[in-house]
Copies of this chain bind each other. A is one copy, B any other.
Amino acid sequence: MAARHPTSYRPVTPVRDLLARSGARITPARETVLAILLEAPRALSHLEVEQAARQRGLTADRVTLYRVLDWLVGQGLAHRIEGQDRVRRFNAEAAVEHAHAHFHCTRCGQVFCLEQPLPRHKPQLPEGFRFEGMELTIRGLCPTCSTQT
């Protein structure tokens, strides 16, 4: 997988810099996982992260990856998406405001980030409800699956 902004005039912020900002420790697991998420074209499940990590030579426990992912979410470096299949997926959009919809393929289960932003305004809620955030998930078939009959 290629880096995100190969032709950008501004260099990609190195993974270690992003991590360093948190003040917490920089560990191989955190470096690798964040790099994986940053380079992924779509949201990855824990399992996909684990496989990608192994390909990069990281031998980390399943639990460690869960904890790293949670930590990244806590740091605001990654975002967690609740899938239609009871599987959580993660992506990292270091620079991009995370306010877009997700597309969940009902056939292969992949989750894609869509470019179009969510409505800017907070939705009207009935009396007493407090808003924290919102998530728009579109179900359907991805390009690959929609052509396979």
Select the stretch in A2-10, A90-98, A124-132 that faces chain B: A124-132
Kindly report how many copies of this chain are found in the complex they form together. Answer: 2
Identify which of A30-38, A45-53, A140-148 touches chain B. A140-148
Stretch at the interface among A54-62, A64-72, A81-89: A81-89
Q: How far is the CB of A61 from chain B (nearest CB, A)?
A: 21
Cβ of A123 to closest chain B Cβ, rounded Å: 6
The A contact surface, by secondary structure, is strand
Which residues on B sit within 8 Å (CB–CB) of A129? Answer: 103, 112, 140-143, 146
Minimum C-beta distance from A90 to chain B (A): 14
Alpha-carbon distance A42/B126, docked complex (angstroms) = 14
